[in-house]
Amino acid sequence: MKNTMKTISKLSPQRGAGIISKPIPTIQDDEILIKVLTASVCGTDVHIYDYNDWAKSRIKIPQVMGHELAGEVIEIGSKVTSVKLGDIVSAETHIICGTCEFCLSGQGHICQNTEILGVDRDGAFAEYIAIPAKNAWINNPKIDPAYLCVQEPLGNAIHTVTSGEVKGKTIAIVGVGPIGLMAVNVAKALGARLIIAVDINSYRLNLSKELGAHMALNSLNDDVTKIILEATNGYGVDVVCEMSGAPTALHQAFSFLKKGGRLSILGLPDHPMTIDVANEIVFKGITIHGITGRRIMTTWQQGKELIDAGLLDLDKIVTHILPFDDYEHAFELMHSGNCGKIVLRVSIGDHK
């Protein structure tokens, strides 16, 4: 095997990224080496590409980007027994310590010592990546890796939608970027009675209807609160999944969430924001869930069951599959919003 690999890396403290060669990682006794077949582009990658304030405070340059992947195991450490050579795997991208209070109580998704692939250590926009074997999720090799690599963000959508009851409920998905689109599809698969997508991007609103939304509202043109209240007999929806991170969208969400309802927040505002605690939370008696990452490995299992049952439309969620070298076009598409999930073909092997 060759000694170096091609990577997409953050090379300088400014907008953009570049392709450079780096040594192929060497693995520890508890790690595996993966030949990356596909890697999908995440909003986090866009933040790093744009080098926003968060990236400036977190990313150490040079840094191999990316964290959502599918690939083939080509080397295993001496202590690894859970994975074998040739397995097609994806990766839980939060590497947790396993020893803190949160890990020991089954809440590894909020581990005190989390490291994230492509953020705190070299990531998946590379021909090869080394990860702890415990972070590998073994896939059905018959499924196209273009769909297998999106299971990590799918887990975020599942975590957000299923932080409370879904079946028979009315639910609004606010912000239908790639993870929001997945949330729409998950809500449909789990039997939500009424699914309402809210966004400002017509492309994604149209796609949300293909994925299961009964109503798709453009908050630039539609009186969202009025329409949702009319559709719910004046009560509002049982559940709001806030995926956008836009303060105005979050404030509006309180206005159409039913009293006693659930608000699950995955979207991250760029700056601190003010909330009317008395009127938006206390007097409405609502429950708020902050969603971070995936419940390790519960949401992976939930995703597998939905995929195996044919309940998810991954072929519609993934709208673009591009060559690895065409990464700049991928980021242009992400900035435009005229896409669902974008996947880069990193390596071509037996699994095409």
Domain residue spans of the chain: 4-154+295-345, 164-290
Given a cut of 90, whether residue 253 has pLDDT beyond it is yes
pTM (two decimals): 0.95
119-134 mean pLDDT: 98
Look at residues 313, 310, 333, 312 and name the one whose alpha carbon lies nearest to residue 321: 333
Complete DSSP assignment for 3-70: SEEEEEEE-SSSS--EEEEEEPPP--TTEEEEEEEEEE--HHHHHHHHT-HHHHHHPPSSEE---EEE
pLDDT at 275: 95
Given a cut of 50, whether residue 350 has pLDDT beyond it is no
Cβ count near 352 (within 10 Å):
9
CATH topology of domain 164-290: Rossmann fold (3.40.50)
For residues 154 and 185, is the Cβ–Cβ distance under 8 A? no
Query: Of 138-147, 318-327, 341-350, which range is least confident?
Result: 341-350
166-178 mean pLDDT: 99
Which are the catalytic amino acids? Answer: 44, 47
Q: Which two tokens stand for residue 222?
A: 């539609």
4-154+295-345 has CATH 3.90.180.10 classification: yes
pLDDT at 349: 55
